[in-house]
Structure 1
Amino acid sequence: MMTDISPAQTITLAKIRHIEELERLDSSITFVERIGQLIHQIQAERGASCLYLASSGKRFSQARADIVVQNQQIETDFRQALQQYLDRHALTDAKQLTLISWILLGLDQLKNLRHQITLLKISFADCIESYNRFIQSLISLIFEITDSSVNSKVSTSLLTLYNLVQAKEFAGQERAVGSYLFGSGSMQSEHQQKLLELITQQNRHFELFSQFGAQELQQAWAVLQSSRLQQQHEHLRHQLTVAKDQQTLNTSASDTWFALCSERLSEIWLIQCQLVQSMHRMLAELSAHAKKDLAQTKQYLDAMTQSADPNHPLDSSFFNLSIPVESALQFQANEARHTAPVTSIMQLLQQQSQQIAEMEVTLADTKKALSERKVIERAKGLLMRKFDIDEMEAYKQLRSTAMTQNRKIVDIAENILAQTHFSRD
């Protein structure tokens, strides 16, 4: 037997769907948290492996072995979290699933990579790039989860997290490159250039992190920047960036550099944990508010039903042309909020449209930042293929052109893509 569907039912259903969406988002944050933990541990393994290779296997052997054992448990935890995420998100899109496939392939082949490092059968450059590739696949998954979020506040927080994780990854690569240089006892210009590019990249993402991050996160970052740890790190960083090619480096400084960088990464990790916990709190507050809104909506609907005139059951306000509804139909955030009790279906719908519109306005700003990142990545890919250069060099070209023309990097990237498209046509 079919039952007529009423506006009251679909209004209530929309509220329920919103609550379910927030619950799924919280599970997404939990999964992203697991991704961040795996990245953090693989970064530690990469650093120890680079020191192990730099010393030809004479140092950091046991420390590296201990990290590997710990990471194997983290990998198991990640696989379990992944399964829970997929169970909770039955409609995970093809892009995320493809990235997950790459990540699982990398996890399956970590054992062989570790074996090559133990036997000193892999170069420093190949070692660091192998770990970088795996970590970048994890960071890319965070980006795609961020891009799929439909809640403005959560999306902004995820974008903040993405930039912090990406900056931390460049800081981790800086630790690895610096450890190798100090450990080898000699400056090599190609690694020094890599170091300079890593510093530029991490600064860019730290700036974006500060731009999108809440005030408490900005304060935590400011404290770290002014700390004695940062000053000591900057002192050793300066030694590496100003040294001449083939200049002798103090090998004993490798331990100090590694320790300082590790402590710095741990401090950044604490900020990352702080951000994740704030996201869980935010979602709990949003969920509580949504449930309260649902209960209030049901009360309004019950009151309307009880007060309805049985002789005039229809609410004719939809066709009352003196009441503007066009902005609500288009979800434009320019309607005044109703502070008094809602007394009609029309008011409920206008209120709901306004709430959605306000979220979409904020979400649009976040999506713009995500879209710009995609444009820049696509342009970098074109430059890499065209000139047979690596990612760092491609970004360097984009940045240099932008500075020369006094324009934004994304504008330069859009021009490159447009010119390529035009030449194909």
Structure 2
Amino acid sequence: MRDISPDQTIILAKMRHIEELERLSICTGFVETIGLIIHQIQAERGASCLYLASAGQRFGKERSEIIEKNQSLELQFREALQRHLSHNNQVDAKQLTLISWILLGFDQLKSLRHQVTLHKISFPDCIQSFNRFIGSLISLIFDITDNAVNSQISTYLLALYNLVQGKEFAGQERAVGSYMFGSGHIQQEHQHKLLELIALQERHFELFSQFGGNPLQKAWTASKDTSTHHLHQQYRDKLTHAKDGQAVQAHDGDAWFELCSQRLSDIWHMQCQLINGMHDMLETLVSNAKSDLAKTRQYLEKMRRHPATLDSAFFNLSIPVENAYTFLAHDNQHPYPMESIVSLLQQQSQQIAEIENELSETKKALAERKQIERAKGVLMSTLGISEVEAYKVMRSTAMEQNRKIIDVADNILAKQKSPSPRH
């Protein structure tokens, strides 16, 4: 049996890179399906809430049609999940556990729908039940983003996660506002919830804009300067600026619902645009990787025909190969000038180093988000405050101390781990 050689392993490395990208393509197809399911479950939540609010007099037919469509989508989800799992044997225990929760939610959707049909569930509990299921789906998108192995796709996924999460809070805003208009008067409890949802949207849409790239940034900015946006803001003001117990016109609920639905539809179109961009990027990356593999094969074949190029450059101390095999990004050293395996390896190492460097920036953003979420949880638990209030405490502390919010979050978590002083 022939000994394995450097040229064989460099070819294998490039083949593995192509396999990673192809697995990622299947994975992003799964994420696309998750996004579609979330969009449709949000539509079902809206129809179900209006059905309950009208005591079954409205949205019965629309709700039935949405449910029928969602049952078909559930099969689509399970098929996409099967492809994802069969092509990716590195799905870890955390992601599989998240998937288990989601499958349990799907299994019990029939019972929830039956309760809605028979008016055996309250309006707030209906909203919360759908919120819980959608939240589990969004958590899966975040976990997949956290495990992505390509910096460009990871950035797309991070933008997508924040857009989907912001859209979910916009959907909850629609439901809470519809309930307030439907009740005919303002309740401070629901008003505070609405303000919280608005603040949460702003945070996630800001991050979406940050990671989504210039075209989507421009589209997002343009969406804020439309008549629909301004009219939606006027109805928002009616709900958020009113006094506790103040009467509101119930018929305004129809206009509110339509404006919110149009807004959700506009966000959905951006989501589709983002996913299409991600698919296009993956196609380009796979095509480039296959082209690179073909050129490498030709390069190695050329060297085999000229054995003199197979020199002993590894032990030529004037060549900084350490920069290559320690994978230092942005290496300014000139590559080995001769056509040789060393030159090829230097180029390959530099490509990997740059990919890892770019990916680390996205991973840093994800890690910071997780730390901030954990710190918020600590404040919510210890101070008995809401998520938005916890974030405000962290943000104001950061501003007062002229520090980054991640530093404040790290400090909160460090204090939690430290043992309390004995008195």
Shorter-chain TM-score range: over 0.9
- The 8 Å contact of residues 55 and 184 in structure 1, kept in 2 or not, is answered as no
Equivalent residues of 2:371, 2:409 under 8 A apart: yes
Listed as ranges, the matches of 1:81-92 within 5 Å are 81-92=80-91
Q: Which residue, out of 314, 319, 324, partners 2:315?
A: 319
Aligned CA distance change for structure 1 residues 98 and 342 (closer, same or farther; 3 Å): farther
Q: Deviation per CA, 1:55-90: give whole Å up to 9, x if none.
A: 333332322222222211111211111111111112
**Contact 1:46–1:128 under 8 Å retained in 2:** yes
Q: Give the match for residue 371 of structure 2.
A: 375
Q: Give 1:115-134 correspondences, 5 Å limit.
A: 115-134=114-133
Structure 1 residue 116: deviation in Å?
1.8
Aligned residue for 1:167, secondary structure, equals: helix
8 Å CA contact retained: 1:154, 1:279: yes
Deviations 1:273-293 (CA, angstroms, capped at 9, x unpaired): 011011111111111111111
Structure 1: which 5+ residue stretches go unaligned? none
Please give the TM-score of this superposition, normalised by the length of structure 2: 0.95
Partner of 1:241: 240
Structure 2: how far apart are the matches of 1:339 and 1:314?
Answer: 16
Equivalent residues of 2:336, 2:343 under 8 A apart: no
The verdict on how the C-alpha distance between 1:302 and 1:314 changes in structure 2, with shifts beyond 3 A counting, is closer
After the TM superposition, which residues 32-181 of structure 1 pair with which residues of structure 2 at under 5 Å, given as runs? Answer: 32-181=31-180
SS of residue paired to 1:315:
coil
Q: Distance in 2 between matches of 1:189 and 1:339?
A: 67
Aligned counterparts of 1:121 and 1:337: Cα–Cα separation in 2: 71
Q: Name the residue aligned to 2:382.
A: 386
**Cα gap change, 1:48 to 1:406, in 2 (>3 Å):** farther
Q: 1:282 to 1:337 in 2, by over 3 A?
A: farther
* Residue from 345, 349, 354 that aligns with 1:353: 349
Q: Supply the distance in 2 between the matched residues of 1:191 and 1:64 (Cα, whole angstroms).
A: 25
Q: Where does residue 269 of structure 1 map in the other structure?
A: 268
Q: What is the CA distance between 1:256 and its match in structure 2?
A: 0.8
| Over 6 Å off, 4+ runs | 337-342
The equivalent residue for 1:187 is: 186
Identity rate, percent:
63
Q: Which residue of 2 aligns with 1:223?
A: 222
Q: Which SS does the other structure have where 1:254 is aligned?
A: helix
Residue 365 of structure 1 and its aligned partner are, at CA, apart by 0.8
1:422 CA displacement:
1.3
1:412 is displaced (CA, Å) by: 1.9
Q: Of 352, 358, 364, which residue of structure 2 is paired with 1:362?
A: 358
> How far 1:326 moved relative to its partner?
1.8
Measured in 2, the distance between the counterparts of 1:396 and 1:56 equals 39
State the shift of 1:196 in Å. Answer: 0.6
**Contact kept in structure 2, 1:327 and 1:334, CA below 8 Å:** no
Contact 1:338 1:351 in 2 (8 A): no
Q: Is the 8 A contact 1:379 1:417 kept in 2?
A: yes
Could you tell me which residue of structure 1 aligns to residue 296 of structure 2? 297
> What is the rounded CA distance, in whole Å, between the counterparts of 1:107 and 1:116 in structure 2?
15
TM-score, normalised to structure 1, is 0.94
Matched, 1:13 2:12: yes
Contact 1:331 1:356 in 2 (8 A): yes
- Distance in 2 separating the partners of 1:83 and 1:399: 42
From the superposition, tell whether residues 358 and 349 of structure 1 become closer, same or farther in structure 2 (CA, over 3 Å). same
Deviations 1:358-408 (A, max 9, x none): 111111110010001111122223234434555444434434444454443
User: Which residue identity is paired with 1:226?
Assistant: D
Moved more, 399-408 or 261-270: 399-408
Q: Supply the distance in 1 between the matched residues of 2:257 and 2:23 (Cα, whole angstroms).
A: 39
Pairwise CA distance, 1:338: 7.5
Letter in 1 for 2:343: Q
Note the C-alpha offset of 1:333: 1.3
Q: How do 1:17-36 residues align onto structure 2 when only pairs under 5 Å count?
A: 17-36=16-35
Can you list the C-alpha shifts for 1:229-283, whole angstroms capped at 9, x where unaligned?
1111111111111011111111111111111111111111011001101111111
- For structure 2, the 5+ residue unaligned runs are none
Is 2:303–2:310's contact at 8 Å kept on the other side of the alignment? no
d(CA) in 1 for partners of 2:393, 2:63: 37
Letter matched to residue 227 of structure 1: T
CA distance in 1 between counterparts of 2:281 and 2:304 reads 34
Query: Structure 1 residues 72, 307: CA separation in 2 closer, same or farther (over 3 Å shift)?
Result: same
The farther-off stretch of 384-393 and 299-308 is 384-393
Distance 1:18 1:166 in 2: 31
1:27–1:85 contact (8 Å) kept in structure 2: yes
Determine the C-alpha separation between the residues in 1 that align with 2:391 and 2:99.
26
> How far apart, in 2, do the equivalents of 1:404 and 1:290 lie?
49
Instruction: State the SS of the aligned residue for 1:247.
Output: coil
CA distance in 1, matches of 2:245, 2:287: 62
Instruction: Tell me how far apart the structure 2 counterparts of residues 342 and 17 of structure 1 sit (CA, whole Å).
Output: 26
Q: Does the CA-based 8 Å contact 1:402-1:408 persist in structure 2? A: yes
Q: What is the CA–CA distance in structure 2 between the aligned matches of 1:43 and 1:244, rounded to whole Å?
A: 29
RMSD: 2.0
- Secondary structure of 2:327's match? coil
**Structure 1: distance between partners of 2:5 and 2:386:** 58
Q: Please give the alpha-carbon distance, in whole angstroms, between the structure 2 residues aligned to 1:337 and 1:209.
A: 37
